[in-house]
Chain A
Amino acid sequence: MNRNFEQEYREMMNKQTPDLWDRIEAGVKASDRSNSVITGIDDLRKETEIKKEKKRFPNYYQVMAVAGVAACFAVLAVGAPAVKQSMHMEKEAEQGLTEAGLELPEDSSSAAVTSFAKSSSEKESSSAAEAQNDESSSVQAEASSSQVRTANEESSSKMSKKPEKEAAKDDSSATASQLNHDDEASSQPVQKTADSTSVEASSEETASTSAAESTTKKKKKKTSSSDGHDVAVTSDADAQSGKPESDLETVAAKDDAASIAQADAKAQAEAEVKAQAEAEAKAQAEAETDAQKAEEEKKEPVTYTGIVAKVSSMKESDGAIIYTFKVISDENGNFSKNKKIKVMSSESLEKGSSYVIAFLDDGTKKGSSTLYKLIAVSDFETE
């Protein structure tokens, strides 16, 4: 007995298969509810995660603080080069002052200003002393003629015996007295040195005035420092007379401005000299190159021979004749037929005659065309 296993198996399984749809539907609903709960939990988790992420980011005030700090750094970064540049300029100004033999007054202390004024007055006094010596010698010469020689000799000997510093002080005070007529104290040493003779006094006065003039002349030579020196002398006098320090500060400021202007003028002059030197060197180099080019052109002349040409025209120029040839034939093929060439020669050739010529091209030009120089010529017909 043969049985169909497949058929019997399918029938058996179909009979055994229960109806599970209600259970499945209930399970699906339950899973949906649990999913919704899970979804709710997931939403809560997401919300908390979002809150955490928000907490990770800084709030508005923190951001603004950080931005402010960053802006400060940016300003410093931008402003630092400018500050450096200004410092560099100050250093250069100081350097210029030291080169000019001047000192920059530190802060606004009156001591520095007075020392500066003293140093300037010392310089002036030394120059004044020198000028006075010269003037005194001249005065001595005048005095010999006016019989006041002995008195001047005494005064000059006294002057020479005096220490240089004292003389300088006296002269500076004398200069100050010349510039500031109210200063009476400065006239006393002059009277002392002049003893009691009027001639001596007059000679001393002339000496002092001449010294003052010489100092003023020297000051004028020093373009920008003249004002400063004047003021410095005045300040010395002011210091002696006990004026307030504010005036000294203004004096120092003026000195600074003058010294800076002097340094600038010096730098400008140096720059001009450099520029002139460079321009000269450049022009010289160009001239040299031009000369070299001309020499090279002259060094390589080209000779053309065996050209049969006919004189079409001639023109005298500077003792020589410039012939215009019309080329008939060129055995070398350098010139085409009927080409017109200008050849300079001292020989006399007939217009309309044909010649066999040889000429040189040394680079000379006549207008736009080349001017050749005739080397040899022979009559074409005779050959």
Chain B
Amino acid sequence: MTDSEFDEGMYRMRSGDREPLKTIYQDYIGFIYSTVFSVVGNKENAEDITADFFIKIWEQADKYKPGTGHKAWMSRIAHNMAVDFLRKRKRETLTDEMESASDEDNTKGGKSIYDTQVVNPVEDEVVSDMTLQQALQSLSEDERVVINMKIMGDMTFKSIAQAMGLSMGTVTWRYQSALRKLRKYGYE
């Protein structure tokens, strides 16, 4: 979907037309879901946040400014929603820990799947038999977001930097750092 098509769809959504929303959903569900999943690392939470994301787009269709780059706009919203979710749940988790410090199950489902597993980044060794999931676990959250936007969103470093509010050098460095880590797992 081009920017002009997205802008037109958002314009129609303002008048209550749901068809553009379905088109946007079909085109970008994978991108949004992966973006959210790269942050939260949990399937159920990622589904909830993704569903809320599209509802939010519907509700805020009149606030969209055409010509600003729809992928960057959507990825920024999705990333912020995922980060807000994590912050909110972290506060709830801390409160629960204070209430029952001895309860060890409180971390179950509360943390990202990437945090629950121990990552042992031995940069000099190449682990060829590790799965993709293990390779992703070796990346930091910021690196995963950049890789996801680059692969799933076909976004340029400039638009990624715009979406995350970072400089293009930072985004490029994070991308290169992620590739270096993935090479250790046999990926090119």
Residues of B within 8 A of A (CB-CB), count: 32
> Are B30 and A13 neighbours in the complex by a CB distance under 8 Å?
yes
Name the prevailing secondary structure of the A interface residues: helix
A3: chain B residues at CB < 8 Å are 186-188
Complex CA gap A359/B157 in Å reads 112
As a 0/1 sequence over residues 50 to 61 of chain B, the CB contacts with chain A under 8 angstroms (1 = contact) are: 111011001100
- Point out the residue from B37, B55, B58 that lies within 8 Å of A16, measured CB to CB: B37
Cβ of A99 < 8 Å from any Cβ of B? no
Asked if A10 meets B151 with Cβ closer than 8 Å, knowing A3-B186, A20-B47, A21-B25, the reply is: yes
Q: At the interface with chain B, which of A23-31, A134-142, A295-303, A322-330?
A: A23-31
- How far apart are the CA atoms of A6 and B187 in the complex, in Å? 9
- Nearest to B135 among chain A residues (CB) is A5
Q: In the complex the two chains form, is B152's CB within 8 Å of A13's CB?
A: yes
- B34-59 interface bits toward A, Cβ cutoff 8 Å, 1 = contact, 0 = none: 10010000010001001110110011
Name the B residues within 8 Å of A24 (CB-CB): 21, 25, 51, 54-55
Q: For B31, give the chain A residue with the smallest CB separation.
A: A13
- Listed from nearest, the 3 A-B pairs whose CB atoms lie closest are A5-B187, A27-B55, A13-B34
How far apart are A17's CB and chain B's nearest CB, in angstroms? 5
Please name 20 further chain A to chain B contacts, defined as beta carbons within 8 Å, in addition to the given A9-B151, A24-B51, A31-B55, sorted by A numbering: A1-B186, A2-B186, A3-B187, A3-B188, A5-B132, A6-B151, A8-B187, A9-B147, A9-B148, A10-B30, A13-B152, A17-B29, A17-B33, A17-B34, A20-B25, A24-B25, A24-B55, A28-B18, A28-B58, A31-B59
* Least Cβ–Cβ distance between B45 and chain A, in angstroms: 12
- The chain A residue with its CB closest to the CB of B26 is A21
Closest-by-CB residue of B relative to A20 is B51
A4 contacts partner chain B, Cβ-Cβ < 8 Å: yes
Contact B188 A27 (CB under 8 A): no
B182 CB–A CB distance under 8 Å: yes
**Closest beta carbon of chain A to B22's beta carbon, Å:** 7
A residues near B135, Cβ cutoff 8 Å: 5
| B128 is an interface residue with CB less than 8 A from chain A | yes
Interface residues on A, range: 20 to 34
CA distance A124 to B73 in the complex (A): 116
- For residue B92, give the distance in angstroms from its CB to the closest CB of chain A: 22
Q: Which of A12-46 contact B (CB under 8 A)?
A: 12-14, 16-18, 20-21, 23-25, 27-28, 31-32, 35
Min Cβ gap A179→B in Å is 108
Cα–Cα, bound, A27→B58 (Å): 10
Q: Which residues of A contact B30 (CB under 8 A)?
A: 10, 13-14, 17
Q: 1/0 contact trace for B94-108 toward A, CB 8 Å?
A: 000000000000000
- Knowing A10-B152, A27-B51, say if A16 contacts B188 (CB, 8 Å): no
Name which residue of chain A comes closest to B33, CB basis.
A17
Closest chain B CB from A105 CB (angstroms): 89
Separation in Å of the B180 CB from the closest CB of chain A? 12
Distance (whole angstroms) from the CB of B29 to the closest CB of chain A: 6
Contacts of A18 in B (CB 8 A): 33, 47
Chain A residues with Cβ below 8 Å from B25 are 20-21, 24
Which of A4, A10, A18 has the most chain B CB atoms closer than 10 A to its own CB? A18
A123 to chain B, nearest CB (A): 103
Complex Cα distance, B147 from A3, in Å, reads 16
A17 to B29 alpha-carbon distance, docked (Å): 7
State whether B55 touches A28 (Cβ < 8 A).
yes
CB <8 Å contact, A21 and B22: yes
Chain A residues, CB < 8 A from B182: 5
Which A residues are in CB contact (< 8 Å) with B18?
Answer: 25, 28
In the complex, the chain B residue whose C-beta lies closest to that of A2 is B188
Closest to B34 in A: A13
Give the shortest distance, in Å, between B147 (CB) and chain A (any CB).
7
Chain B min CB distance to A25 (Å): 7
User: What are 26 pairs between A and B in contact, CB < 8 Å?
Assistant: A2-B187, A3-B186, A4-B187, A4-B188, A5-B135, A5-B187, A6-B151, A8-B187, A9-B132, A9-B148, A13-B30, A13-B37, A13-B148, A17-B29, A18-B47, A20-B25, A20-B33, A20-B47, A20-B51, A21-B25, A24-B54, A27-B52, A28-B18, A31-B55, A31-B58, A31-B59
Query: Complex: how many Å from CA A1 to CA B128?
Result: 7
A20 in contact with B151 (CB, 8 Å) = no
Smallest CB separation, B46 vs chain A (Å): 8
Q: Which residue of B lies closest to A29 (CB)?
A: B18
CB within 8 Å of B: which A116-139 residues: none
**Which residues from chain A contact B22 at a C-beta distance below 8 Å?**
21
* B54 with A20: CB separation less than 8 A: yes
Give the docked Cα–Cα distance between A9 and B148 (Å).
9
CA distance A22 to B129 in the complex (A): 39
Q: Which of A4, A13, A25 contacts B33 (CB 8 A)?
A: A13
A-chain residues with CB within 8 Å of residue B16 when the two chains form the complex: 32
Q: Which residue of B lies closest to A35 (CB)?
A: B59
B58 to chain A, nearest CB (A): 5
CA distance A33 to B148 in the complex (A): 35
